[in-house]
Amino acid sequence: MIESKANRKFKEAAFYNSQNDGGYFLLPFKFHRLNGEKEILVNEVGDYLILPTGTTATIVNRQISKENNSELYGDLIANFFISEEAIHPLIDVLATRYRTKKHFLNYFTGLHIFVISLRCEHTCFYCQVSRVTENRDQYDMSIQNIDRGIEIMFKSPNPHVTMEFQGGEALLAFDNIKYAVEKSEKIAGEIGKQITFVICTNLALVNEEILYYCKEHKILISTSLDGPQSIHDSNRHKPHASSYALAIKGIKLSREILGEDQVSALMTTTTLSLEHPIEIVDEYYNMGFPGIFLRNISPYGFALRTEKSKYSTDKFIEFYKKALGRILEYNFQGHYFTEDLARIYLTKILTPFNTGFVDMQSPAGLINGVIVFNYDGGVYATDESRMLAEQKDFTFKLGTLNDEYKDLFFGAKAQEIAQVWSNEALAGCSECAFQAYCGADPVHHHATQGDMYGYRPTSAFCQKNMEIIRYLIELMESEPKIKKIFESWISKK
Ligand code: SF4
């Protein structure tokens, strides 16, 4: 059917040329009502203005003028919301700002996750992988797959790659880690690439020998700490032992041998955690960590088999706000202590820069920033993708380590995912004021809504991001000293 002229998406050029009837042209921006009194206007590069409710309508209806609203008019011009010329005279500055925001795309995949073994000696109920305690040959990554993973990793155009060993429990395959580290160090030296190594471990098996090896090879340790003993041990069950006691002992020994800043920890929020935001924050603070990352559980896969990890996004947001309140109390007392999810959003809100955090990017971090080489040779777009594969859902399997680089990273599957990995092009996100601060997560939407495109009005990913971003902005607006604290988190001072 031929569309009638009246229904065409774009109007005639003359219509747009007449759009500066009020003396200015509109540049692309979006707005969001923060509360009954204020609304936020955000431009293409994330600069924002907070104005009284209803201001957007007056701007769009050309009811403001240089003469009558000089301060607002000047702010709108200076911040690329309106222009007196059809092409803004500083369009190149705007383009540079846009490039800076998308700088993370320049180098392509940096993080290469090697699932070195699926075996584990813990039985955490929310574990994202199926645990297997025996049968090493079947569930450890073979030397052949390690070699091929290293070969593919060094094909990345990124001059600085990260090789992260995950499990199961990665230290159960420490000999294979040593093989992979030494081989990669040698190649990195020969071809002039920088490489960072990370071992993700519950630390139950760590010992001095392992840690001195890590020190020699500059390997970072990333561990799990879900809070005080009662929460940690309930979440992370280890038969006949306290996982918490082993983790704390391991953190202390790792800090002693590697240095304070070489050991990081992550928490996962369960239904039990929801009742203890203060205790969890206090545990991180008392353990001397510079901050905490308040992470909700991925609402799919293995985690959904138990009630202990099923909770609504509302409950998580409530928990998050209480925990953030406690963190701010520490800061009010003069201590530097951050919340890392907030730090990611705030970097995007308050600076011209983006972050390297792969879960909150547009285009999404999968493939562009991270790739997963599974123990069995499967190649997945993200860690959550291989978790889905353990449930026999291979939607995000890009191929195997035997495939060519171009077929894995630019093949049919990657192209299919690329259709939905930019929030600029997703219904709901494309008009959202928080688009520049948020990201796209096709894996989450596929897993929770059965469609990787996703439907924002019922998306838990959207609900969480929208409310936390709104809340952070509201906090900054309500108290200048909170804004100062947030700025210090970004500048790390
Ligand atoms: S996911 Fe939600 S909050 Fe994020 S950009 Fe899309 S609509 Fe906005």
* 91 & 196 share domain: no
Q: 349 C-alpha vs ligand 1 centroid, how far in Å?
A: 14
Q: Locate the ligand 1 atom nearest the alpha carbon of residue 465 and give its number.
A: 3
pLDDT in tens, 450-469: 999 999 999 999 999 999 99
* 230 & 287 share domain: yes
Minimum CA distance residue for ligand 1 atom 3: 466
Q: How far apart are CA 184 and CA 150, in angstroms?
A: 7
End-of-domain residue from the set 82, 101, 120: 101
Contact 203, 244 (CB under 8 A): no
- The pLDDT value recorded for residue 354 is 87
Contact 221, 214 (CB under 8 A): yes
End-of-domain residue from the set 50, 77, 101: 101
* 146 & 71 share domain: no
The answer, yes or no, to whether any atom of ligand 1 lies below 6 A from the CB of 456, is: yes
Q: How far apart are CA 16 and CA 265, in angstroms?
A: 53
Mapping DSSP onto H, E and C, the string for 43-97 reads: ECCCCEEEEECCHHHHHHCCCCCCCCCHHHHHHHHHCCCEECCCCCCCHHHHHHH
Residues of the chain with pLDDT under 50: 1-3
pLDDT in tens, 343-399: 999 999 999 988 878 889 999 999 999 999 999 999 999 999 998 998 899 999 999
* 335 & 188 share domain: yes
Q: 466 C-alpha vs ligand 1 centroid, how far in Å?
A: 6
Give the list of residues 6+ apart from residue 5 with CB closer than 8 angstroms, or none: none
* 218 & 70 share domain: no
- The pLDDT value recorded for residue 7 is 58
Per the structure, the count of domains in the chain is: 2
The answer, yes or no, to whether any atom of ligand 1 lies below 6 A from the CB of 429, is: yes
Q: Locate the ligand 1 atom nearest the alpha carbon of residue 466 and give its number.
A: 3
* 49 & 93 share domain: yes
* 80 & 136 share domain: no
Q: How far apart are CA 229 and CA 176, in angstroms?
A: 32
* 230 & 248 share domain: yes
**Cis peptide leading into 363, omega within 30 of 0?**
yes
The answer, yes or no, to whether any atom of ligand 1 lies below 6 A from the CB of 462, is: yes
* 133 & 40 share domain: no
- The pLDDT value recorded for residue 1 is 41
Mutate-to-test residue for ligand 1 from 465, 467, 472, 473, highest number of ligand atoms within 8 A of CB? 465
In a domain, 491, yes or no: no
- The pLDDT value recorded for residue 278 is 98
Domain span holding position 258 = 106-342+371-412
- The pLDDT value recorded for residue 129 is 57
End-of-domain residue from the set 101, 134, 166: 101
Q: Check which CATH number belongs to the domain holding 198 and give it.
A: 3.20.20.70
Q: 22 C-alpha vs ligand 1 centroid, how far in Å?
A: 32
Number of H-type helices and E-type strands within the chain: 20, 15
